[in-house]
Structure 1
Amino acid sequence: MAGIGIDFGTTNSVVSQFAGGGTEVLAIDEPPADWAALGFDRVLPTVFGRGDSDEPIFGWAAKQRPGSLAAVKRLLRAEEVADVDGVEYVVEEIATMIFGHLKRASAGQGVGFDQAVVTIPANSRGVARHRTKLAAGMAGIQVKALINEPTAAAMAYSMKSATEETLMVVDWGGGTLDVTVLRNIDGVFMEQASKGIQQLGGLDFDSTLSRLVLETVADPSRWTSGDRAGFRLDIERAKILLSQVEQVSVPIPGGEYRHVTRAMFEKAVRQQIERVREPIDQCLSDLGVRNSDIDALVLVGGTCKIPAVRTLVSELLDRGPAAGVDPMTAVAEGAAVASAILSGELDDRDFFVSTEHALGTVSLDPRTGLVFSELIPRNHKLPARVSESFSPVVDYQETLALKVIEGDPAKPLDDHDNVVLKEWELALPEPQPMGELSIDLTYSYDVDGILHVAAADSRGNILLDDVVSYGVAIDRKKLATIARRSAEALDTGKLEAPEPRAHTLDPETQKAISELQSKVVPFIADAEVAEVKEAIDRVRLDGHDGGGTLGTFTRKYSYLL
């Protein structure tokens, strides 16, 4: 069986196979001719929608339709449900159907498979990694490994590169920015350092360009949903064209146009572009090296096609980007190489991955209070298995609050970089005086990207054996139902009505909340996210939107809806 690699991207997804000593990218969608000419002929937009007959639609068919859902990958970080043309779906169900469509579209190209290597952003959190693997599994795809996108890109580049070198991969796609330094020694890839920004990519550049154009439009709130969908598509195309030409004309609903120059666009996104300095500097600092120690610079992801991005990164590394790498497909091609390695088809290469965030637990330090107790440090090679012992803090303690935290131990516990992935309340079956009992906590982290957590007391009692995690919105009992519903939707071409959810809010308010969560929150700055989520929480607490706050936000971000 050919080695299959899947790049499940924020804006576009790609499937590649390794066969005959090389990689081939499958044509799994049919873009409009003007988009195919821009390099989109071998990618499928990661967009899900509902057709006129309630059938599931994907890719370009969904992208050109009002009400469809884009950027599902961003929702896997924290959101439970998503609005698709006015109907709420559990995020895992949407992701499962997309993976199922990728599998079936590949079979339509004569490439059937039930195993694959799937890529994720290097800075992806544990919950998002597990939800990704879970969705692929429910679609009938056994995930041989989850590997970081920059590592996959380096492996694609390596098929034509030197046998020993230090690479820096800047992977800047539609949703995330990742920078990773790797060593390639005779075809063995070892991640050395990695740093990234979770919510910064082409979609955010689109939003900035949208605001730039909308400042010149009298009343976009009057646009229809079809007008807004067409405008978003025209904005994305204008951004892409500005990497090739100096000026574009953006159509405005109603027959007008707005002219945007490359200089105007670059000025508008300058602050976003400058943020690439942060992860580059951090990686070099972590390794104690200079830019001159980097032998090759590999740029992947659509955002790396922007001339100002390429110029800035080249200046920071004092070298130009490596040739022969397709920014749109390199990640999937590298995943196919990894798949061939794991299956034994490619036996002269190997790879090792490492953690991008530290993993630990929250413990009580008698001198300073609650602290981040690190078990697996950042940049630790995988697989990893680490155990630490902890003691109860009071005599005859009966329960133990166990939290798995991911982030940076050097920062305050409540810093936004530190995220509690999962927590349990564990019963201690044999309470003892302080000092008489200890708890052994073990974290096991394999190349599948899933963290296994086990806890046992010093008297041999097993307190916990679990994984992080089974998703934000669902429990294990619902997995089989989601898998069945997704398969039937693809088999029959008919979407079932979602399982009813208990709502105490009126339908209009609930729809506004759903749209803000799935179509606005993933695309706006953190400070704005906090403001929107605070308003949503307040409306849910009150049971109504008496102040019309949600309406204010839906009007403010109407270009995203």
Structure 2
Amino acid sequence: MSTIGIDFGTTNSVVAAYTPSGSEAIDIDSPPADWADLGFGRVLPTVFGLGPQGETLFGWEAKTLAHGERLQAVKRLFQQEVSVTLDGQEFLVETIATMLFGHMKAKVLESGLSADRAVVTIPANSRGLARYRTKLCAQMAKLQVLALINEPTAAAMAYSARMPFDQRVMVVDWGGGTLDVTILEAQAGVFIEQASKGIQRLGGLDLDARVAQHIAAATPGVNEWSALERHLFRLAVEKAKVRLSERDFTNVDLPRGGFHRLDRPTFDDSVRGLVERVRQPIEQTLQDLGAAPADIDAVILVGGTCKVPLVREFIADLMGKEPAAGVDPMTAVAEGAAIAAAILSGEIEDNDFFVATEHALGTFALDRTGEMRFSTIIPRNHKLPARATESYTPAMDEAASISLRVVEGDPEHEDYTVLQTVDVPLDTGRLSAQDKSFDVTYEYDLDGILNVNVEDRLSGRTLTQSKVGFGIAPLSPSDRVRIAEGSEAAVAEGRISPAAAAPVADPKVAELLQRARKDVIPYIDEDKARPLRELADALERAGDAERPDAVLDLELALLPYSYLF
């Protein structure tokens, strides 16, 4: 067998293979005993670190690293970040993600299995930029990516393999970094996504941060902890969260001795506001289908956050039914991806699956009243692959070109992301705007990567073509070769070559920016992260005269989150 399924998670990753006895997760790392006892035996933490000698570390070695720096939640960085800094060295996000994929592939090979081709999962609400960067990094790790599939679809496939009858299922996929709710129809071995809604930055990391904040408020001397002590504290909080899934209380070890007693009611009170946010995507997906909870045959909970009793209880009350049994929340997504890989490679011939768009795709255009509005080209919940064309006319007769904004978003809730702006030249020899009308075609493939084609309506001539989803900093072919070769060497030899990038000159400013962007922003709610991100950007742009005030502004804004760094 040469196909595998990879759940590339925000906090943890899992690899599975399809065997004659079914889909099975593969052991690709060795957790410490205290973590193995908590059910993490087949889980690789999605963590990258540099050891004392600059050697590359992955998984549990990086997560439990006592000395040196580590990077967690790489997948969250796919949405906005180009590079990160570790031990004073700046690395492209793609470099680190490629190395993580390469490490997983190497571990599969060590287990005696082959790993040439893979199906890789992504959150259903993941934007086009993140989808493209995920696929790119897996390919640079010498994996042939058969498809990117949504994590809830993979989970439904794993569940249906055990319950092989027609049904409509709701998958709540809540891991370390993202929340997705998807309703699927399983009919005669075919899996069809019908509706999906999610929250991009909400997961176990955020629950951990909320509990850590509660404990830190009751613990004297928190501001005096070292970076290592803060890291050990965060690990202790995460372990306490996992233990409280089975116990009524536990102790959170404090870095300088002693412990904080944490019981389940206190934990529940700390995170209740975050847990209740699952209501909105659940109700939205039902509303999209005109369905009621009674119309759902099974509710499948996957992802580590779904092991929290309060989460399970809240969803059960909301849906009026208990979650389906027989699904391992930690490994189900990878197991389903392995089934998808077996379908695509021909090992399984009596199943198939379809994927739908989580977001509408379109552009901004003037309506008949002169208002700028979102113009949908491919609607939400449209099955992939999808191809659609809309016609447009320039607003002014004298226009020599137009700027086409390729937009992914939710028109109903005014939530948009401009994926790319495409400049389209027009025929200046024509006098009227009507003569310069053009067709915009969006072609969205199974991986959720968008191709845009603009064609002159009168002549049929292609005005521009563009593949959207290259990420914030499009990589040149030489960049890709360099990252792929460097990642392969690093996995084999335990080293890494830093990306060539100009660091911030002032070490104090560089350290402060690193603290904000790596230690705090990925772990707090988006409404709180946004002003911090703006302050960090302002500091990076500040001139000599403005820099002292910008430093002070960011330092003061970070004070409430000192328990994180």
TM-score of the aligned structures, taking structure 1 as reference length? 0.96
Matched to 2:44, the amino acid is L
Matches within 5 A, 1:13-24: 13-24=13-24
Distance 1:350 1:446, change over 3 A: same
**2:259 equivalent in structure 1:** 257
Q: Which residue does the alignment assign to 1:472?
A: 472
Aligned partners of 1:400 and 1:445: how far apart in 2? 22
Structure 2 counterpart of 1:73, which letter? Answer: K
Is contact 1:243-1:307 (8 Å) kept? yes
Q: Distance in 2 between matches of 1:309 and 1:42?
A: 23
RMSD over aligned CA atoms reads 1.5
Residue 425 of structure 1: aligned partner: 423
Match of 1:333, SS state, is: helix
- Is residue 155 of structure 2 the alignment partner of residue 156 of structure 1? no
Q: Please state whether the residue corresponding to 2:361 is helix, strand or coil.
A: strand
Partner of 1:33: 33
1:345-494 to structure 2, matched below 5 A, reads: 345-411=347-413, 415=414, 417-432=415-430, 433-458=432-457, 459-477=459-477, 478-494=479-495
Distance 2:530 2:186 in 1: 41
Q: Is the 8 A contact 1:2 1:340 kept in 2?
A: no
Contact 2:399-2:428 within 8 A present in 1 as well: no
Measured against aligned partners, the alpha-carbon deviations of 1:405-436 in whole angstroms (never above 9, x if no partner) come to 1111234xxx4x21111112222254522111
Q: Distance in 2 between matches of 1:531 and 1:523?
A: 14
Letter of the 1:227 counterpart: E
Q: Check if 1:61 corresponds to 2:68.
A: no
1:90 touches 1:473 (CA, 8 Å); kept in 2? no
Quick one: distance in 1 between partners of 2:449 and 2:25? 27
CA distance in 1 between partners of 2:405 and 2:247 (Å): 52
Q: CA deviation at 1:253?
A: 1.5
Q: Structure 1 residue 526 and structure 2 residue 526: aligned? A: yes
Shift of the alpha carbon at 1:555? 4.0
Letter matched to residue 23 of structure 1: S
Look up the equivalent residue of 2:453 and give its one-letter code: A
The answer to whether structure 1 residue 103 and structure 2 residue 105 are counterparts is: yes
Change (3 A) 1:100 1:362: same
Please give the per-residue CA displacement for 1:364-399, whole angstroms capped at 9, x wherever unaligned: 225142111001111111110001111112123211
Distance 1:63 1:409, change over 3 A: same
After TM superposition, give the deviation of residue 537 of structure 1 in Å.
2.6
* Aligned-partner Cα distance in 2 for 1:324–1:17: 18
Checking the alignment, whether the CA contact within 8 Å between 1:147 and 1:335 is kept in structure 2 is: yes
Shift of 1:488: 2.1
Mean Cα deviation higher: 363-372 or 277-286 = 363-372
Given candidates 182, 188, 191, the residue that maps to 2:190 is 188
Structure 2 partner of 1:536:
536
**Structure 1: gaps (5+ residues):** none
Structure 1 residues 362 and 431: CA distance shift in structure 2, 3 A = farther
Query: Partner residue of 1:133?
Result: 135
The 8 Å contact of residues 421 and 468 in structure 1, kept in 2 or not, is answered as yes
Partner of 2:560: 556
Q: Distance in 2 between matches of 1:183 and 1:301?
A: 21
Q: Secondary structure, in 3 states, of the residue corresponding to 1:353?
A: strand
Partner of 1:147: 149
| 1:221 Cα offset (Å) | 1.9
| CA distance in structure 2 between the partners assigned to 1:474 and 1:217 by the alignment | 45
| More deviation, 361-370/6-15 | 361-370
| 1:165 partner amino acid | Q
Q: Is the 8 A contact 2:6 2:15 kept in 1?
A: yes
Which letter maps to 1:291?
P
Gap change, CA 1:259 and 1:431, over 3 Å in 2: farther
Q: Secondary structure at the match of 1:174?
A: coil
Which residue of 1 is the match for residue 247 of structure 2?
245
Q: Is the 8 A contact 2:131 2:469 kept in 1?
A: no
SS state at 1:394 partner: coil
Structure 2 counterpart of 1:550, which letter?
A: L
Most deviating of 61-70 and 208-217? 61-70
1:402 and 1:431, CA in 2 relative to 1: closer, same or farther beyond 3 A? farther
- 2:329 is aligned to 327
State the distance in 1 between where 2:139 and 2:94 align: 11
Q: Which deviates more, 168-177 or 525-534?
A: 525-534
AA aligned opposite 2:560: K
CA apart distance, 1:2: 4.1
For residues 457-479 of structure 1, the C-alpha deviation after alignment (integer angstroms, 9 at most, x for no partner) is 12233222221121213432422
Q: Secondary structure at the match of 2:159?
A: helix
Conservation of the 8 A alpha-carbon contact between 1:2 and 1:18: no
Preserved CA contact (<8 Å) 1:118 1:143: yes
Distance 2:270 2:136 in 1: 38
Deviation at 1:525, TM superposition (A): 1.7
- Following superposition, the deviation at residue 311 of structure 1 comes to 0.9
- CA separation in 2, counterparts of 1:479 and 1:552? 39
Counterparts of residues 238-317 of structure 1 (less than 5 Å): 238-317=240-319
Letter in 1 for 2:295: D
Pick the aligned partner of 1:76 from 75, 78, 84: 78
Which residue is 1:46 aligned to?
46
Measure the CA separation in 1 of the matches of 2:287 and 2:507. 52
Q: CA separation in 2, counterparts of 1:189 and 1:443?
A: 24
Question: What per-residue deviation string (whole Å, max 9, x for no partner) do you get for residues 484-509 of structure 1?
Answer: 22222223222223313264x41220
The answer to whether the 8 A contact 1:470-1:476 is kept is no
Aligned partner of residue 384 in structure 2, secondary structure: coil
Shift of 1:21: 4.5
What is the CA–CA distance in structure 2 between the aligned matches of 1:139 and 1:402, rounded to whole Å? Answer: 34
Kept in 2: contact 1:512–1:554 (CA 8 A): no
Partners of 1:551 and 1:167 in 2: CA distance: 47
- 1:13 positional shift: 0.2
2: CA distance, partners of 1:208 / 1:36: 25
Q: Look up the equivalent residue of 1:318 and give its one-letter code.
A: G
Task: For structure 2, list consecutive stretches of 5 or more residues without a partner in the other structure.
Answer: none
Are the equivalent residues in 1 in contact too, given 2:2–2:114 (CA < 8 A)?
A: no
Q: In the aligned structure 1, how far is the partner of 2:528 from the partner of 2:126?
A: 21
Equivalenced residue count is: 556
| 1:276/1:140 CA distance change after superposition, 3 Å | same
Question: Could you tell me whether the CA contact under 8 Å between 1:49 and 1:58 is conserved in 2?
Answer: yes
Give the Cα–Cα distance (whole angstroms) in 1 for the partners of residues 487 and 474 of structure 2.
15
Question: 1:69 touches 1:519 (CA, 8 Å); kept in 2?
Answer: no
Residue type of the alignment partner of 1:488: A
Residue 8 of structure 2: aligned partner: 8
Contact 2:192–2:353 under 8 Å retained in 1: yes
**SS at 2:454's partner residue?**
strand
